[in-house]
Structures are given as structure tokens and as C-alpha cells.
Amino acid sequence: RCRRRTERLNAYMKVRQGTGRRSLVWKLFASVWLCVVLLLVFNWLLNSFALTGYYQNQKRDSLVRAFNSLNELYQISDEQAVEKLQQLSNNENISALICSRSRVIYSDRVDGMSIFPGGVLLHLPNFEPGEYTMEISGDERTDTQFILLQGRMTNGYWAILRTSVQ
């Protein structure tokens, strides 16, 4: 009788020990999985709400810096300004159109087509030299949004700069 109790107790303890190990492994797995899910949700919320405004402000600041540097360079040398425009296009993904009322001075081209489709020269705003405006505009054909800077440089040229919001 005593032996049976001991055997039952040992069997119970073995079952209990196995259950405890499985329970510990399960708790550890569930804790790690929960942490990963919470981290992903936090990153998604941060990206969706907090960083969007910061990112767009950085893009706007880069357009303003580009406009100011082009404004200075066009007073010194057209060749240096064109080099700067090509650098902006390659490094910062800023597309540019520089024009006067009657002709295009510089334009980025993509696949042989002007990146600023028809009618730009007709709708240039009447700014004082050094003034500019910024807006977010979209291209319905490609379903993309752009931050667009339009301004008049001190030499009388109009600069239209744009960069993708994405």
C-alpha cells in the first residue's frame, strides 16, 4: 500500500514536472510574441502619425534651401546653377524647371517628356523677386503626390521645384 502511494506520487510529480516545463516554455513564447507584436504596432503608429509631418517638413526645407542656393548661383553663373540643378536631381530627388516668360531655361526630362506637363509658362504667378509659394499637388495619371515650390528669382527667372512626398 505504501509502495502504491509512492508510485502514484512519483507518477503525479513526473506529470506535474512535464506540465510545468511546457507551461514555462509557452509563457516565454507568448511573452516574446506579445513584445514583437506590440513593437510592430508602436512602429506603425509612429510612422503613420508622428513622422509624416516631420518628413514633409524636411522635404519642404530642402526645397527652400534649393531655391535659395539656385537664386544665388544664377546671379553668379548659369553653368554653376545647372550643375547644382543636376546635383539636386540626382542626390535629393528634386526636379526643376527654370524659365522666363518666353522660354524654358532649364528643365529635367524623364523618358523624353517634360516633368512639368503643358501650360506651365502660361500660369506663372506674379511674384516679387525672391518670393515663393509651396503646395502639395498630385499627378492623377501616376497617382503620386508632390511638394511643389514656385518662386521668382532675383534675376527675373521663375523656378518651379518639386519633390515626391513618398
Q: What pLDDT shows up at residue 113? A: 42
pLDDT of 109 = 62
- Pairing between β-strand 158-164 and β-strand 132-139 as defined by DSSP bridges: unpaired
Q: What pLDDT is recorded for position 91?
A: 77
pTM for the structure as a whole: 0.63
**Per DSSP, which regions of 77-126 are E strands?**
94-99, 104-107, 109-110, 113-114
pLDDT score for 43: 92
Report the pLDDT value the prediction gives residue 121, as an integer from 0 to 100.
52
Q: What distances in angstroms separate CA 74 from CA 6, 38, 64, 78, 150, one per listed residue? A: 97, 52, 15, 5, 16
Taking 50 as the pLDDT cut, the residues of the chain under it are 111-113, 115, 117-120, 122
